[in-house]
Structure 1
Amino acid sequence: MARKKTITRDQILTAAYEVVANDGFSKFTARNIANQMKCSTQPIYLEFANMDDLKQEVVKVIFKHLSEDIFTREVTTNRLIDFGLNYIDFATKEKKLYRALYLEDSGNGSMMQETSFRWFKKIAIEHSDYANLSDEQIQSIYIGFWIVATGMASLMSAGILEFVQEDVIKALEETLAIVLEREEIIDIKVKTSK
């Protein structure tokens, strides 16, 4: 009679998520994930072809969490401001996961930047103020906005600076206004993972 599985795919994904959220991708090993579940590594390799397969699945879980629970919260009447505000809030509240996704050299930084740009662009083209802008203009707005949002997120995540929400909103609104007024396109490209 075959042994019944006692550790499920979802349990492995949850443990892997916890490892990344607590220690970053540098500690993303079968042994650390198994330790999180208090078991051997065998269930991991029974459910996933290899660690890259597991990593891809964990990244999907993280993306789902970000897109459904974090970046879509409505705080103001401007969804672009909300996006920046939610990104900064995420960096402040989930410091290690933020660093693992956006700052560590784990191969995910470019993918996260691409994903963030796609989210930003989707929000922008749905907003009447930005609907008629070219792709180059939207990318230019994103770069200017993202530099400020990332600077604030990184400084707040590191505990170097503290901002009250009203000041963050004002800074993001002013950044959008300044970048929109520019005649010249900011010609910095989002680095892709390809």
Structure 2
Amino acid sequence: MPKQKITREMVIEAAFDIARREGMEKVIVKNIADKLGCSVQPIYSYCSNMEGLKAALTERTGTFMKEYLAAHIEKKDYFRSMGRAQLRFAREEPQLFQLYFLRRRSDIHSLQDLYSKESSREVAKFISDTLQLTMAQAEQLHLHMIIYTMGIASILATSCSHIPEEELMTQLETACDAFLAEMRRKNNE
């Protein structure tokens, strides 16, 4: 029987599957080799260091997450459904949520950096159009909700919480209403 050629993509997919099911701490060369049914040698040829593998896994997770969110949002209620989808992702894919969001980020130095890296102009435009806000106001509301949603999502991804979905949605709606009311109050001063 001919030997199977191990590719970089196979290594990344095996590592992704391990991270998704068992967490990043289980992503070690031996476990990847076991999953692929090969020796550790081919793994080392693609993973000379774990930092490179972590970067590839983070990129792969980001792609997976974007596909997941796109499949779970409602175009007619883009803003709110995005928050719901993010909470669902944290609950259903806690290991991947942790890998992507609870990692050290050297590219974030301000909340504006966070917003520009983790948001979509489409969402801000949708908010602006549907709530009759300026783009600046829409982006500010979106940032508030990203921060708030990520807080709840972090609780879900790290605590095996069984908080009912309707309770979570009520919290998101209450926060959104409060942020929006404060924004409008300031505009009227």
**What interval of TM-score do these two structures reach, taking the shorter chain for normalisation?**
0.7 to 0.9
Contact 2:87–2:153 (Cα < 8 Å) also in 1: yes
Contact 1:71–1:87 (Cα < 8 Å) also in 2: no
Looking at structure 2, the residues matched to 108 and 16 of structure 1 have their Cα atoms a distance apart, in angstroms, of: 21
Structure 2 residue matching 1:77: 3-state secondary structure = helix
Q: TM-score normalised to the size of structure 2?
A: 0.72
Mark the CA change 1:143 to 1:17 in structure 2 (over 3 Å): closer, same or farther. same
Contact 2:144–2:179 (Cα < 8 Å) also in 1: yes
Contact 1:75–1:82 (Cα < 8 Å) also in 2: yes
Contact 2:14–2:36 (Cα < 8 Å) also in 1: yes
Matched, 1:154 2:147: no
Looking at structure 1, the residues matched to 14 and 100 of structure 2 have their Cα atoms a distance apart, in angstroms, of: 17
Choose which of 104, 107, 120 in structure 2 pairs with 1:107.
104
Q: Within 5 Å, which residues of 2 pair with 1:55-94?
A: 55-75=54-74, 77-94=76-93
Where does residue 26 of structure 1 map in the other structure? 25
* Deviation, structure 1 residue 122: 3.8
Looking at structure 1, the residues matched to 17 and 86 of structure 2 have their Cα atoms a distance apart, in angstroms, of: 20
Looking at structure 1, the residues matched to 163 and 37 of structure 2 have their Cα atoms a distance apart, in angstroms, of: 38
Tell me the C-alpha RMSD between the 2 structures. 3.3
Matched, 1:16 2:18: no
Looking at structure 2, the residues matched to 163 and 169 of structure 1 have their Cα atoms a distance apart, in angstroms, of: 9
Where does residue 40 of structure 1 map in the other structure? 39
Structure 2 unaligned residues grouped into runs of 5+: none
Where does residue 133 of structure 1 map in the other structure? 135
Contact 1:88–1:152 (Cα < 8 Å) also in 2: yes
Mark the CA change 1:91 to 1:22 in structure 2 (over 3 Å): closer, same or farther. same
**Counterpart amino acid of residue 81 in structure 2:** D
* Deviation, structure 1 residue 12: 0.9
Where does residue 190 of structure 1 map in the other structure? none
Looking at structure 2, the residues matched to 48 and 133 of structure 1 have their Cα atoms a distance apart, in angstroms, of: 44
Structure 2 residue matching 1:145: 3-state secondary structure = helix
Query: Where is the helix percentage greater, Structure 1 or Structure 2?
Result: 2
Matched, 1:144 2:144: yes
User: When the two structures are aligned, how many residues end up with a matched partner?
Assistant: 177
* Deviation, structure 1 residue 76: 7.2
Structure 1 unaligned residues grouped into runs of 5+: 185-194
* Deviation, structure 1 residue 162: 1.5
Contact 1:121–1:138 (Cα < 8 Å) also in 2: no
Structure 2 residue matching 1:124: 3-state secondary structure = helix
Looking at structure 1, the residues matched to 148 and 106 of structure 2 have their Cα atoms a distance apart, in angstroms, of: 17
Mark the CA change 1:73 to 1:160 in structure 2 (over 3 Å): closer, same or farther. closer
Q: TM-score normalised to the size of structure 1?
A: 0.71
Q: Which moved more, 1:42-51 or 1:52-61?
A: 42-51
* Deviation, structure 1 residue 114: 3.4
**Counterpart amino acid of residue 133 in structure 1:** M
For residues 108-154 of structure 1, what are the alpha-carbon distances to aligned partners after superposition, in whole Å with 9 as ceiling and x for unaligned? 5977x9378533444112441366222xx455423432343234323
Contact 2:62–2:100 (Cα < 8 Å) also in 1: no
